[in-house]
């Protein structure tokens, strides 16, 4: 499939603009790339600081067209699949040791390196990806890092974009063709907090695995295994 990449100097939000393209009839493979966002967003409406020098992109997908589950039912799978695609793209640039923090963060040395925002509308899904390329932002509620800090040099955002997009699309096509189980083992191998105790919503337990549906498996003290899709 040929991707339709739309590049802008500045947008309010790449996800919002990608949603607009969807409403205007765009199909799978529409990609929004922006040098900066004036009102970038994360999960639960959190603000995503978006200065020039980092990567901000959103991708329109229609997995149900390929006989996969509707996006709403495959939300957790899509989040893990996207994280794995970004991680693999960064590995091609020489970045190692990145972990996926459920449900939507990529971490390096315990600090946030990238974030994902998955938004579903009917049979379509918009996947937003933000990577700290040259700036590790402060004041965002957690410690952050950047590719520049990890690699000791500044990077061209365009190079990072193409590496991430290529790897993401490869993982997406694998997920479409073979299902989530084909990438679940890889997701587990780089999952942050596996076999450690954590609190998700009103439940505290040990992160013991990822289900075939993409849910995080949290085992509480009484031995009950809870499948957590999102909080």
Provide the mean pLDDT of the chain: 91
pLDDT tens for each residue of 115-164: 999 999 888 999 999 999 999 976 567 899 999 999 999 999 999 999 99
- Asked whether the beta carbons of 56 and 14 are under 8 A apart, the reply is yes
Residue 96 pLDDT > 90: yes
Alpha helices in the chain (DSSP H): 14-23, 75-91, 147-151, 157-178, 181-189
pTM of this structure: 0.92
When pLDDT is cut at 50, 70 and 90, the band that residue 89 belongs to is very high
Query: What domains lie within the chain, and their CATH numbers?
Result: 4-192 (3.30.930.10), 194-231 (2.30.30)
Which one is predicted more confidently, 66 or 128? 128
Query: pLDDT at position 142, please?
Result: 83
Q: Token digits for 25? A: 């009839």
Query: pLDDT at position 139, please?
Result: 57
When pLDDT is cut at 50, 70 and 90, the band that residue 42 belongs to is low
Say what percent of the chain tops pLDDT 70: 93
Diameter over CA atoms, the chain:
53
Residue 20 pLDDT > 70: yes
Burial class for 214, CB neighbours closer than 10 Å (0-12, 13-18, 19+): buried
């Amino acid at each position: 499939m040929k991707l339709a990449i739309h590049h802008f100097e500045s947008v309010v939000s790449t996800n919002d603009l990608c949603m607009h393209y969807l409403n205007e009839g765009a199909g799978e493979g529409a990609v929004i790339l922006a040098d900066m966002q004036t009102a970038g967003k994360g999960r639960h409406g959190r603000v995503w600081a978006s200065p020039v020098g980092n990567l901000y992109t959103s991708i329109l997908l229609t997995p149900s067209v390929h006989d996969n589950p509707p996006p709403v039912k495959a939300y957790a799978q899509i989040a893990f699949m996207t994280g794995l695609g970004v991680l693999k793209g960064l590995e091609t640039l020489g970045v190692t040791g990145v972990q996926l923090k459920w449900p939507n963060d990529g971490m390096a040395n315990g600090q946030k390196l990238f974030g994902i925002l998955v938004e579903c509308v009917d049979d379509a899904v918009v996947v937003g990806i933000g990577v700290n390329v040259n700036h590790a932002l402060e004041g965002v509620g957690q410690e952050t890092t950047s590719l520049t800090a990890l690699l000791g040099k500044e990077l061209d955002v365009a190079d990072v974009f193409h590496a991430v997009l290529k790897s993401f699309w490869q993982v997406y096509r694998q997920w479409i063709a073979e299902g989530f189980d084909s990438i679940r083992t890889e997701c587990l191998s780089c999952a942050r907090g596996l076999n450690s105790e954590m609190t998700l919503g009103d439940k505290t337990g040990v992160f013991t695995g990822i289900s075939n549906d993409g849910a995080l498996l949290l085992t509480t003290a009484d031995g009950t295994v809870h499948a957590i899709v999102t909080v």
